[in-house]
Structure 1
Amino acid sequence: MLVAVLLPFIIAMIIPFLSKWKHTIHTGYFVTIVPVIVFIYFARYLGHGFEPVSREYTWIPSLDMNILFYLDGLSLLFVLLISGIGALVAFYSIFYLHKSEQLGHFYVYLLIFMGSMLGVVLSDNVFVLYTFWEFTSLSSFLLIGYWNYKKESRYGALKSMLITVFGGLSLLGALVFMTVLTNTTSIQEMIDQQQLILNSDFFPLILCLLLLGAFTKSAQFPFHIWLPDAMEAPTPVSAYLHSATMVKAGIYLVARYSPMLSSNDWFFIIVSTMGIITLCWGSYMAVRQTDLKAILAFSTISQLGMIMAMLGFGTKVAVFAAVFHILNHATFKGSLFMVAGIVDHEVGTRDIRKLGGLMTFLPITATLAVFASFSMAGVPLPFLNGFYSKELFFDAAIHLEVTKEGFIGLLRTILPYLAVFGSIFTFVYSMYFFFGTFRGTTKIDQLPKKPHEAPIGMLVSPMILVIGVVIIGLFPHLVNEPFIAHAASAVKGVEIEKHIKFWHGITTPLIMSLAVLVFGTILALSRKIWQPVYNFVPGVMSMNKFYDGTVDRLEVFSEKVTKGYMNGSLSRYVRLILAAIIVVTFAFMAITGGFSVDTDHLSRVSLPAVFVAIMMVIAAVGTIITNNRITAILILGVVGYGLSMLFVLFRAPDLALTQLIIETVTVALFLLVFYHLPKLRKKHETASTRTLNLVISIGFGALMTMVAISSHSSKWFDSISSYFIEKSHSLGGGDNVVNVILVDFRGLDTLFEIVVLGIAAMAIFGLIRLRNRKEED
């Protein structure tokens, strides 16, 4: 299982080498193999008798951070969607992206994203999950900003990063709280101890932080604003992000923690309310858009809101419907994004105002679009899978197992009406997408390219997804018992069995579906008449304006703060750094009781040591008041050599030898570069500046003195010196304890110190070469 998750990362490291042959064979062919292998590996778990599987791999056992993978029905559903649609997207991109593109970059980002999503849905350790969670934000940032020469791509990438990383940090807070309360990092063990969390005083905070992470990732209102701007990514990326991966990560998080949280009333209130608002707002705003991908982006927002609302309902029917719709949405939405990409690729525009009548020129694409868009609309036809889950959604909305009193009772009453309202606009934007693109009058003169059907390679992926729409619609039992039922049971925490069939008689959900069909048709036909309503709602109000204003104000504030201290004065930088160290360190020592003085076990101070110390103090003061560079260098050497003498007096000959060598080299280097040293001159400073310098100097000196005394006087932990003395010979093969510590026990530290020095030497050499080259020019 670990190999399956790491495979995309491993291949991502090889892609830069494979992309060198992209003019011979498209890099996408190599990449497509990866998700196919992953899909085949996990597909073997499908079946009626599936049982959860767990695998544990040692990572950081001292912090209880082992890599623990847990495969149950829920994670299997997502793994198969991630790998299956990932394979179709990779294959589709072969024909969408030209070989002249930076294919190496694209497929590296895509594979990292794929591996990160696999890690998210399989991780049972919360911190491993969080690590992969943030990897999805980083990789999606790179994918959305793939065409980085476009301002819109950079804007969309940054927007998604800021919002989703903000949610990720909130999620981390919730995970830390739950880990502390349950004393475990395993999600399954947390669920087993759910009463500890539910009864905790911190539960409201945990719930808010967890849902904040989920809502930002799954573009729930009002955090949905990043998703439409993510459309600047190449269409294969949009199809992948919207159908099976990133936006579903928040859905997965809520579903995974549902067994723990769904019994709480606030979970129902928050998740159901935000989900139904997102459904209504996303579907309403989709009809306003003119870009095909923008229509699909807002449709994704509305569909995610629908799934989130069903998870909030928490009933068996609702959970089953949510899981079923996750699968259905992946099929029809993935194919619709690919259809939009085909239109853009073959026609040259996605502006629906310039499109129309393309069914004549793109008959296969139009056929795929009609199945996918009508399925998304929930049209009651037995070969469209979208109708089944939408009818289950209506059934769940009218059979909520919650109290009828107070606000919850009011919410229970209005939820079915809001469900119908959102579904009506879902029908409208689905019809708007299909008929506005493929029916009506052809506007050949407004199209950048002469329209023609896409090559067969580009049609394969959406065709497979549409076949999935039809097969699931005709034979829902094929995915029910061996697939959907296991996933729904994992979400609910109890066994769920639900028989899917097209006809249930004249029921309330069917009447609701017919109402959606009738009113949706009326609104779709009269769209141009009521379109001006958008001038009033939302009108000039926009969450995008709030986001832009917030970011702009933060940038202005940050610029003012930065200019306040970054003025080019080195002395100011030193003052700020030292002042911060003094304040923070003194405050921390005061809070933790770090101030302590213990005169026991001190070596006797001899008269020569006192004399050397006085000499060093005089020399140190002399370096400040001297106006001669040679004198300053020599006096500074006195301080260093005096320290060597103290080492000798306190019986540390190895340190004394090291100090002597360093001091000799330092003085020699100063003398070698004497010509280039700045001339000492009296600096004209105000009285306040001199006073500030004096305070900082005395304060920093006092701090170092107190740190040295307190570090000797405070014994918070057992000394490790006895371990070094005992193990020096047996483990390090030497009797000189200091040398063994440096070479063996701290070997990596010493190695990295050498590396740092080597890098610094190369940097200096490069600067010298650069200066010489400029002088020659």
Structure 2
Amino acid sequence: MIYAVFAPLVVTLLIPLISKWKEKIHTGWFLLPIPFLIFLYFIQFAGENFTPKSEVYPWIPSLDISIDFYLDGLSLLFVLLISGIGTLVVLYSIYYLHKSEQLKQFYIYLFLFMFSMLGVVLSDNVFVLYTFWEFTSLSSFLLIGFWHHREGSRYGALKSMLITVFGGLSLLAGFIMLTVISGTTSIQSMIEQTDVIVDHPYFPLLFVFLVLGAFTKSAQFPFHIWLPDAMEAPTPVSAYLHSATMVKAGIFLIARFSPLLGQEPIFFAVISVVGLITLFWASFMAVRQTDLKGILAFSTVSQLGMIMAMLGFGTEAAIFAAVFHILNHATFKGSLFMIAGIVDHETGTRDIRKLGGLMTFMPMSATLAVFGVFSMAGAPLPFLNGFYSKEEFLGATVELNQYTGGFLGFLQEAIPYIAVIGSIFTFVYSMYFFFGTFRGPFKEKELDKKPHEAPVGMLISPTILVLGVILIGLFPNAVNEPFLAHSAEAVFGGDIHAHLKFWHGFETPFIMSLIIVGIGTILAVTRKKWAGVYNIFPRKGFNEVYNFVVDSIENGSKKITETYMTGSLRHYVAFILTAIFLICFSIMIISNGFAFDFSQTADITIPEILVGLVMAIAAIATIFTTSRLGAIITVGVVGYGLSILFVLYRAPDLALTQLIVETVSVALFLLCFKHLPELRKLPSHPGVKSTNSLIAICFGGLMTLIGISAHSTKLFSPISDYFLEQSVPLGGGHNVVNVILVDMRGLDTLFEITVLGIAALAIYGLIKLRHNKGAK
């Protein structure tokens, strides 16, 4: 499995080379086989006798973190969607994106996202899952902002990243708590300790952290606001991220942890309520949109809410319906996104107010849209897969009976009505999308170019998806036993037996479907008469809250930054030294770190005292000197005085090193003497000088005390003994310092020299640049 997962990542390294031939052959043709081969590899595992498989690759054993891949029915479903839809998206993008586009960047971002999603759904280690999770946020940010010259693309990319990364950090907190409570980083091992985790007093907090991560990623109310703005991405991105993959990552997370969390009433209450609110609100607001992809965006949010609600129900029927709808939604929504892209590509607009009557000019696209739209609407037609999962959903709402009385009992009774209302608006926006685009009067003057049917190549991908809609609708049990049942069992935590058929009799779910179709048809036909109700609701709503929060953070951080970013080097040094003093001194006091032991120090003689006094006088003189040359000389006196101290304390190697360093430093100062700034006196305000003096005395005193304490504290045996003993056997030299630098720390020394060499080249480049500018 590891080769299949990392294949897209490896391909990203080759894309820059492949893209060089894009003028002759579209880059997508080289990359198309990769997701298809991944799909073929994983499809072989599907079957009635499928059993979970796992692979373990050590990574950070000290932290119990290994790359654990676990393939069960649930992860198999998502892997096939990621690779299968990914194949069709790459094929679609070949015809959608012109060769003049930045294809290299696009496919690098796309395959990085594919790699990230494969890692999310296959990881059994929570921290590896989190790593892939954040990679999806990063790569989706790059994909949404692909057309970065557009302000809308930049805004949508930033919004999606801020919201999903906020959820990701919440998810990390939940994973850390799970690891601490269970003592393991394996998801399957955590599920085996369900009782221990659920009974823990911090379980409610842990639950909140996990669901926040899921809700933000899967655009649940009120975090749904990022998804419509993400529609600024190219249509292949929308078809991939926002129908089949990224937005379902939160769904996957809830499904994966359902065996652990699903037994608690809080799970039913929170997941079901949020899912139903999302279903209703998004379906209601979808009818308000005028952009084709905007309609589909709110439609996606609505459908995700329905799936989330079904997972919250937790019953066998609801979980099977949720898994079934994950598959169905990917087929019909992926095709509709591609159709919307085709309309935009061939007419120059996605504004439904300018569209209409396109069936005459785009018959193939309109035909494909019919199947996708009516499947999304859940119309009671036996050859559309959307009806089956919608019927299963309605049936699951009326079969809830695990709670009696109280809020949960009331919620349980209200769920069927909320489901019907939300589904009615689902039917309305579905009809609005199709009839507003392909039927009605043709508005030739509103279009930028004369519409015509898309190239055959662009129609292949949506055609394959629509064939999936039809084939699953005609033969639903062909994907049930070998595929869906295993997925549902992985979520339910037990055996699931479901037989799919179109006609269950004239029962409650079918009556609910008739009500949805009947009222939905009336509302769709009379939409213009009641659309004024949307004027009651603010057009931006929660987006205003997001904008206010982001603007407040930016303005607040700007004000805080301006208080210390004054442009004064003296202020910066003062801030840094003060912070170091306060932190270090506090820690030393709290930990009783100060220790003073002079029993093993050398005796101080008259020569050392004299040299020390000279160094102190020279150091103080640098403060009062008004001459740049005098400052350089006095600083040199301090350095040479230190060399003399090394000689007096019998450290000739250090003395020679200090002499060389000091000589080079003084020489460099003198070479740059002409370019040094004039010395300026400190402000005459007495508070400035006293503040600087206080900071200097405190910081210097602290460093002195820390030095004495470090010498006086012997927590471990000195490492110098090891170097002294091994200098000759290992390094072959009696000069211990040189042996340490050349042999024992040879690699460090090599990189230090490399850094100095790079710095020298950079300085030389700057000098040449300045010289060339001066020559001009």
Could you tell me the TM-score, scaled by structure 1's length? 0.96
| In structure 2, distance between residues paired with 1:736 and 1:80 | 64
| In structure 1, distance between residues paired with 2:713 and 2:201 | 36
Which region of structure 1 is more displaced relative to structure 2, 705-714 or 359-368? 705-714
Match of 1:502 in 2: 502
How many equivalent pairs are there?
775
* 1:546-565 superposed matches below 5 A: 546-565=545-564
| In structure 1, distance between residues paired with 2:99 and 2:106 | 11
| In structure 1, distance between residues paired with 2:572 and 2:594 | 31
Residue 362 of structure 1: CA displacement? 0.9
Match of 1:588 in 2: 587
Residue 180 of structure 1: CA displacement? 2.0
* 1:319-352, Cα deviation, whole Å (9 max, x unpaired): 1111111100000000000000011111111111
Match of 2:325 in 1: 325
* 1:421-471, Cα deviation, whole Å (9 max, x unpaired): 111111111111111111111112221111111111000000000100111
Match of 2:277 in 1: 277
Match of 1:693 in 2: 692
| In structure 2, distance between residues paired with 1:441 and 1:76 | 46
**Residues 1:673 and 1:90: Cα distance change in structure 2 (over 3 Å):** same
| In structure 1, distance between residues paired with 2:747 and 2:214 | 40
Residue 686 of structure 1: CA displacement? 1.1
Which region of structure 1 is more displaced relative to structure 2, 123-132 or 420-429? 123-132
* 1:516-551, Cα deviation, whole Å (9 max, x unpaired): 111111111111111001011x23560011111222
**Residues 1:6 and 1:406: Cα distance change in structure 2 (over 3 Å):** same
| In structure 1, distance between residues paired with 2:263 and 2:275 | 18
Is residue 54 of structure 2 the alignment partner of residue 54 of structure 1?
Answer: yes
| In structure 2, distance between residues paired with 1:757 and 1:422 | 66
Q: Secondary structure at the match of 1:170?
A: helix
| In structure 2, distance between residues paired with 1:310 and 1:2 | 32
Letter in 1 for 2:686: A
Contact 1:424/1:517 (CA < 8 Å) preserved in 2? yes
Contact 1:315/1:401 (CA < 8 Å) preserved in 2? no
Is residue 569 of structure 2 the alignment partner of residue 570 of structure 1?
Answer: yes
Match of 2:604 in 1: 606
Match of 2:367 in 1: 367
* 1:148-187 superposed matches below 5 A: 148-187=148-187
Match of 2:529 in 1: 529
Contact 1:287/1:432 (CA < 8 Å) preserved in 2? yes
Letter in 2 for 1:692: T
**Residues 1:722 and 1:187: Cα distance change in structure 2 (over 3 Å):** farther
| In structure 1, distance between residues paired with 2:739 and 2:427 | 75
Contact 1:595/1:706 (CA < 8 Å) preserved in 2? no
Letter in 2 for 1:559: K
* 1:18-57 superposed matches below 5 A: 18-57=18-57
Residue 567 of structure 1: CA displacement? 2.4
Residue 622 of structure 1: CA displacement? 2.0
* 1:90-489 superposed matches below 5 A: 90-489=90-489
**Residues 1:756 and 1:685: Cα distance change in structure 2 (over 3 Å):** farther
Q: Secondary structure at the match of 1:66?
A: strand
Is residue 664 of structure 2 the alignment partner of residue 665 of structure 1?
Answer: yes
Residue 150 of structure 1: CA displacement? 0.8
* 1:70-89, Cα deviation, whole Å (9 max, x unpaired): 11111111111001000100
Is residue 479 of structure 2 the alignment partner of residue 514 of structure 1?
Answer: no
Letter in 1 for 2:668: L
**Residues 1:387 and 1:716: Cα distance change in structure 2 (over 3 Å):** farther
Residue 6 of structure 1: CA displacement? 1.3
Contact 1:594/1:710 (CA < 8 Å) preserved in 2? no
| In structure 2, distance between residues paired with 1:79 and 1:736 | 61
Match of 1:15 in 2: 15
Letter in 2 for 1:505: G
Q: Could you list the runs of 5+ residues in structure 2 that have no partner in the other structure?
A: none
| In structure 1, distance between residues paired with 2:731 and 2:507 | 81
Match of 1:643 in 2: 642
Letter in 2 for 1:620: A
Residue 744 of structure 1: CA displacement? 4.8
Could you tell me the TM-score, scaled by structure 2's length? 0.96
**Residues 1:721 and 1:280: Cα distance change in structure 2 (over 3 Å):** farther
| In structure 2, distance between residues paired with 1:724 and 1:319 | 65
Is residue 618 of structure 2 the alignment partner of residue 624 of structure 1?
Answer: no
Contact 1:402/1:408 (CA < 8 Å) preserved in 2? no
Give the aligned CA root-mean-square deviation in angstroms.
2.0
* 1:273-299, Cα deviation, whole Å (9 max, x unpaired): 111110111100000001100000000
**Residues 1:652 and 1:528: Cα distance change in structure 2 (over 3 Å):** same
Q: Secondary structure at the match of 2:69?
A: strand
Which region of structure 1 is more displaced relative to structure 2, 608-617 or 509-518? 608-617
* 1:18-72, Cα deviation, whole Å (9 max, x unpaired): 1111110000111211101111111111111111111112222233222111111
Letter in 1 for 2:230: A
**Residues 1:566 and 1:25: Cα distance change in structure 2 (over 3 Å):** same
| In structure 2, distance between residues paired with 1:680 and 1:54 | 69
| In structure 1, distance between residues paired with 2:702 and 2:318 | 63
| In structure 2, distance between residues paired with 1:421 and 1:717 | 72
**Residues 1:526 and 1:197: Cα distance change in structure 2 (over 3 Å):** same
Residue 99 of structure 1: CA displacement? 0.7
Contact 2:588/2:594 (CA < 8 Å) preserved in 1? no
| In structure 2, distance between residues paired with 1:685 and 1:199 | 67
Which region of structure 1 is more displaced relative to structure 2, 594-603 or 322-331? 594-603
Q: Secondary structure at the match of 1:605?
A: coil
**Residues 1:99 and 1:646: Cα distance change in structure 2 (over 3 Å):** same
Letter in 2 for 1:500: L
Contact 1:283/1:298 (CA < 8 Å) preserved in 2? yes
**Residues 1:55 and 1:610: Cα distance change in structure 2 (over 3 Å):** farther
* 1:240-297, Cα deviation, whole Å (9 max, x unpaired): 0112211111111111111111112212211111111101111000000011000000
| In structure 2, distance between residues paired with 1:147 and 1:112 | 18
**Residues 1:70 and 1:609: Cα distance change in structure 2 (over 3 Å):** farther
Q: Could you list the runs of 5+ residues in structure 1 that have no partner in the other structure?
A: none
**Residues 1:598 and 1:90: Cα distance change in structure 2 (over 3 Å):** same
| In structure 2, distance between residues paired with 1:101 and 1:632 | 59
**Residues 1:348 and 1:189: Cα distance change in structure 2 (over 3 Å):** same
Residue 407 of structure 1: CA displacement? 1.4
| In structure 2, distance between residues paired with 1:189 and 1:250 | 21
Contact 2:611/2:645 (CA < 8 Å) preserved in 1? yes
Letter in 2 for 1:320: F
Is residue 45 of structure 2 the alignment partner of residue 80 of structure 1?
Answer: no
**Residues 1:707 and 1:317: Cα distance change in structure 2 (over 3 Å):** farther
Letter in 2 for 1:679: E
Q: Secondary structure at the match of 2:499?
A: coil
Q: Secondary structure at the match of 2:67?
A: strand
* 1:378-425, Cα deviation, whole Å (9 max, x unpaired): 011111111111111112222225322221112111111111111111
**Residues 1:429 and 1:732: Cα distance change in structure 2 (over 3 Å):** farther
Correspondence for 2:595 among 594, 597, 605: 597
| In structure 2, distance between residues paired with 1:733 and 1:477 | 77
**Residues 1:686 and 1:305: Cα distance change in structure 2 (over 3 Å):** same
Residue 129 of structure 1: CA displacement? 1.2
| In structure 1, distance between residues paired with 2:732 and 2:526 | 89
Q: Secondary structure at the match of 1:124?
A: coil
Is residue 71 of structure 2 the alignment partner of residue 71 of structure 1?
Answer: yes
Contact 1:239/1:333 (CA < 8 Å) preserved in 2? yes
| In structure 2, distance between residues paired with 1:132 and 1:734 | 50
| In structure 2, distance between residues paired with 1:53 and 1:729 | 54
| In structure 1, distance between residues paired with 2:599 and 2:37 | 67
Match of 2:703 in 1: 704
**Residues 1:397 and 1:646: Cα distance change in structure 2 (over 3 Å):** farther
Which region of structure 1 is more displaced relative to structure 2, 399-408 or 65-74? 399-408
Contact 1:424/1:516 (CA < 8 Å) preserved in 2? yes
Residue 156 of structure 1: CA displacement? 0.7
Letter in 1 for 2:156: G
**Residues 1:388 and 1:653: Cα distance change in structure 2 (over 3 Å):** farther
| In structure 2, distance between residues paired with 1:280 and 1:723 | 72
Match of 2:676 in 1: 677
Residue 695 of structure 1: CA displacement? 1.8
